[in-house]
C-alpha cells in the first residue's frame, strides 16, 4: 500500500516527470499521425455521401472531434487546477498551463469549421444560437486564462488565480453540452446520445471516433512536449536542470 502511494507521487515531481514526458511524446505523436491518416482516408474515400448534405457533411469529421476536444481539454485543465489547489503540487499547474493553447486552438477550429459548415447548410456563417454562443464563451475562457497567467509575474500567484478562473469557468461546459437539449437551437442535436445511441451510419461514426482518438493522441503529445519547456523555464535554477545533457551541450 505505502509503496504504491510513493510510486504515484514520484511522477508529480518535475524532475522525474521531465524525462518520462520526453519518452512519451514520440509514442503519442506516432499514434496521432497513424490514427489521423486512417481517419482522413475514411473521411474522404470510405464514408458515403450524405443523402441530405451531399459531400458538405464531411466537415463533421473535423468539426465534431475538435468540438469534443475543446470541451474535454477544459475539463482536464479544471481537474489539474483542482489538484493543484488541494495538494499544492507544482506539476498540476504546469499541466493545466500546457493544455491551454491546444484547447484554445481546438475551440477556434470548432467555431471555424462550424462557420464553414453553417454557411452552406443554414445560409449563415454565424448565428447567436445557444450552442455557438456558449462555445464562443469557452474560447474567451481559454484566452482569459492564458492572458491572466501572462499578466501575473509571481508564478505561484498566477497558478492560483488561473486555477480559480478555470474552476469557475467549468459551469460553461454543461451549458455547451446540453444547449442543444435545453433550448431550441439551429444547431443539430448530439450525434451520439447516451440513451438512443448514434444517429449516424456506423462507418461515419467509426470515422469520427478514429479522428477524435487521433486528436486525443495529438493533444497528449503536444501538451507533454509543452510541459517539458514549462518545467525547464520554471526549474531553471535547480541542480537537476543544470545537469541535463541537453543543457550542458
Contact residues toward another protein (CB under 8 A) are 29, 44, 49, 54-56, 58-59, 62-63, 66, 101-102, 105, 108-109, 112-113, 116-117, 119-120, 218, 221-222, 225-226, 228-229, 232-233, 236, 241-242, 246-248
Give the residue with the Cβ less far from another protein, 54 or 189.
54
193 SS3 class: strand
Report in angstroms how near the CB of residue 43 gets to another protein at its nearest.
8
Closest to another protein by CB, 13 vs 49, is: 49
How many residues appear in the chain? 249
Rg (CA), the chain: 20
Q: Which residues are CB-neighbours of 205 under 8 A, at least 6 positions away? A: 191, 192, 198
Supply the minimum distance, in Å, between the C-beta of residue 53 and another protein. Answer: 8
Cell of 241: 536542470
Give me the phi and psi of 50, to 5 degrees please.
-75, 140
In three-state secondary structure terms, 144 is: helix
**Which C-beta is closer to another protein: that of 72 or that of 117?**
117
The minimum distance between CB 171 and another protein, in angstroms, equals: 27
Provide the minimum distance between the beta carbon of 232 and another protein in the complex, in angstroms, as a whole number: 5
Q: Give the position of cell 449516424.
A: 200
CB of 231 to another protein, least distance (A): 9
Q: Please, which residue, 3 or 248, has the CB nearer to another protein?
A: 248
* Cell of residue 248, nine digits: 550542458
192 — phi, psi (to 5°)? -125, 125
Amino acid at each position: 500500500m505505502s509503496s504504491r502511494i510513493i510510486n504515484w507521487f514520484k511522477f508529480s515531481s518535475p524532475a522525474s516527470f521531465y524525462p518520462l514526458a520526453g519518452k512519451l511524446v514520440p509514442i503519442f505523436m506516432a499514434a496521432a499521425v497513424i490514427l489521423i491518416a486512417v481517419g482522413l482516408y475514411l473521411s474522404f474515400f470510405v464514408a458515403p455521401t450524405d443523402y441530405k448534405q451531399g459531400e458538405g457533411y464531411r466537415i463533421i469529421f473535423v468539426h465534431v472531434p475538435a468540438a469534443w476536444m475543446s470541451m474535454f481539454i477544459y475539463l482536464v485543465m479544471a481537474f489539474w487546477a483542482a489538484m493543484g489547489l488541494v495538494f499544492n503540487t507544482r506539476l498540476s499547474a504546469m499541466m493545466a498551463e500546457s493544455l491551454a493553447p491546444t484547447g484554445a486552438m481546438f475551440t477556434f477550429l470548432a467555431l471555424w469549421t462550424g462557420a464553414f459548415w453553417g454557411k452552406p447548410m443554414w445560409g449563415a456563417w454565424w448565428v447567436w444560437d445557444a450552442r455557438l454562443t456558449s462555445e464562443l464563451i469557452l474560447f474567451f475562457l481559454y484566452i482569459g486564462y492564458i492572458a491572466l497567467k501572462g499578466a501575473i509575474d509571481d508564478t505561484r500567484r498566477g497558478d492560483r488565480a488561473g486555477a480559480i478562473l478555470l474552476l469557475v469557468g467549468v459551469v460553461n461546459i454543461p451549458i455547451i453540452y446540453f444547449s442543444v437539449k435545453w433550448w431550441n437551437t439551429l444547431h443539430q442535436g448530439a450525434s451520439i446520445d447516451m440513451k438512443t445511441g448514434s444517429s449516424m451510419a456506423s462507418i461515419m461514426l467509426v470515422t469520427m471516433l478514429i479522428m477524435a482518438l487521433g486528436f486525443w493522441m495529438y493533444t497528449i503529445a503536444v501538451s507533454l512536449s509543452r510541459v517539458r519547456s514549462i518545467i525547464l523555464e520554471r526549474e531553471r535554477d535547480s541542480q537537476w536542470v543544470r545537469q541535463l545533457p541537453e543543457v550542458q551541450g
